[in-house]
Amino acid sequence: MKIVDLRSDTVTKPTPAMWEAMAHAELGDDVYGEDPTVNRLEAMSAEYMGKEAALFVTSGTQGNLVALLTHCGRGDEVILGDKSHTFVYEQGGMAALGGIVPHIIPNRPDGTLRLADITAAIRPDNMHFPRTRLICLENTHNNCNGTPLTAGYTAQVAELARAHGLWFHIDGARIFNAAVALDVDVRELVRHVDSVTFCLSKGLCAPVGSVLCGPSDFIAEARRARKILGGGMRQAGILAAAGIVALEQLAGRLAEDHIRARRLAAGLATIPGLEIAPVSTNILYFSLANDVPLTPQEFVARLKERNVLVLAHGGRSLRAVTHYWIGDEDIEQALAAVRGVLVRMKN
């Protein structure tokens, strides 16, 4: 029986078209700026995001760190959400490697930050304070049920940033999921931001890589930051080739993943013992009711015996993420497995 791997959309392996593109990619030394495939991916990415330039980076974590190192100097402060990936899951790289101070404010359940909280976090000009330099948002917001942030909200934050002379970066690891969920062109979601990172290696199925987009002078500096982090790759076109296929063929099909995530949520909602969080993209959080006599780790292990993988996510919470390699029959297999585990508990 097939393993239905719902832990993350990062588990996606390349599509046949990607393997084909990688096998025949035209290559050069990208540190010399001579890899035509990387150059093409960067030009396409800039175009997709409506920005002047782009930089192919090894990962979303590297893209965010490069952006932060480029926008901020040592002792500068960044305003970001307390549930954001950059604050929670990136080892505090901004502080560890950049001397940049994270100033966190609470994420609301929809992934937004209150405008009043942002304003209150901006430091006045005073010798005692670090200098506020940057605001970061995340779209879609992974830890907030994968919720997309709207173009309208993003524009409001951009206005605030501009009024205070701050840079504005978006961690758009899954920004194409946001665009699909909101039914807008992805450019609308980043029109007023200075920089954005998006991942090729999640729902877009590429094996490796993210792209940082922004103004040309910013990207030129970001290229230096990438190099000092060890991200200057050589014949990286072999990876960029898959990224090009990702943009051309995968970005447009994400709605299918959202439909399957909703179908999975609807199915799980019929099974006693589970509480289901709202689903708006491809990420579904659910939790075990208190009367289910299983830890999340035990639940995950029993599902695994039935060839279904989900992620324990702290507390009683679990995560399932749909992606390219999850079809309708896999959703059925997952539901049958969950039913099997929980119904057996009852008896």
Ligand X SMILES: *Cc1c(COP(=O)(O)O)cnc(C)c1O
CB of 9 to ligand X, least distance (A): 9
Would you count residue 206 as binding ligand X (CB under 6 A)?
no
By CB under 6 A, which span of 24-32, 59-67, 72-80, 107-115 interacts with ligand X? 59-67
DSSP string across 111-154: S---HHHHHHHSPPS-TTSPEEEEEEEESSBTTTTTBPPPHHHH
**Sheet architecture: strand order including 311-312:** 274-276, 283-288, 317-321, 311-312
- Determine contact, residues 142/85, Cβ cutoff 8 Å: yes
The span of 31-39, 55-63, 126-134, 272-280 binding ligand X (CB under 6 A) equals 55-63
Residue number, 84 or 333, with CB nearest to ligand X: 84
By beta carbon distance, the residue nearest ligand X is: 60
Question: Is-contact 299 288, C-beta < 8 A?
Answer: yes
Hey, how many other C-beta atoms are within 10 angstroms of the C-beta on 249? 16
Query: Would you say 8 or 333 has its CB closer to ligand X?
Result: 8
Q: Report d(CA 223, CA 305) in Å as an integer.
A: 46
Min separation Cβ 337 and ligand X, Å: 25
Name the minimum Å distance from CB 202 to ligand X: 6
Query: Which residues inside 167-186 make contact with ligand X, applying CB under 6 A?
Result: 171, 173
Report in angstroms how near the CB of residue 8 gets to ligand X at its nearest. Answer: 8
Among 37, 45, 112, 142, binds ligand X (CB under 6 A): 142
Exactly one of 37, 59, 150, 287 binds ligand X (CB under 6 A); which one?
59
Residue 210 as a binder of ligand X (CB under 6 A): the answer is yes
CA separation, residue 190 to residues 86, 133, 276 (Å): 18, 19, 30
Would you count residue 138 as binding ligand X (CB under 6 A)? yes
Q: How many residues bind ligand X (CB under 6 A)?
A: 11
CB of 59 to ligand X, least distance (A): 3
* Strands of the chain, DSSP E: 4-5, 53-57, 76-81, 101-105, 131-138, 167-171, 195-199, 210-214, 274-276, 283-288, 308-309, 311-312, 317-321
Applying the rule CB under 6 A, the residues between 241 and 280 that interact with ligand X are none
What is the gyration radius of the CA atoms in the chain, in angstroms?
A: 21
CB of 86 to ligand X, least distance (A): 7
DSSP 28-83: --GGGT--HHHHHHHHHHHHHHT-SEEEEES-HHHHHHHHHHHH--TTEEEEEETT
Measured from the CB atom, the residue of 59 and 280 that comes closer to ligand X is: 59
Return the residue of 45, 61, 107, 147 that touches ligand X, per CB under 6 A.
Answer: 61
User: Site mask, ligand X, residues 183-202, x = CB under 6 A?
Assistant: ----------------x-x-
- Among the candidate windows 20-28, 56-64, 123-131, 252-260, which touches ligand X by CB under 6 A? 56-64
Q: How far is the CB of 143 from ligand X (least distance, A)?
A: 8
Give the shortest CB-141-to-ligand X separation in angstroms.
Answer: 7
The structure tokens listed for 164 are 């205070």
Q: Where are the beta strands (DSSP E) in 183-272?
A: 195-199, 210-214
For the four alpha carbons of 114, 199, 322 and 319, in that order, the dihedral sign comes to negative
Positions in the binding site for ligand X (CB under 6 A): 59-61, 85, 138, 142, 171, 173, 199, 201, 210
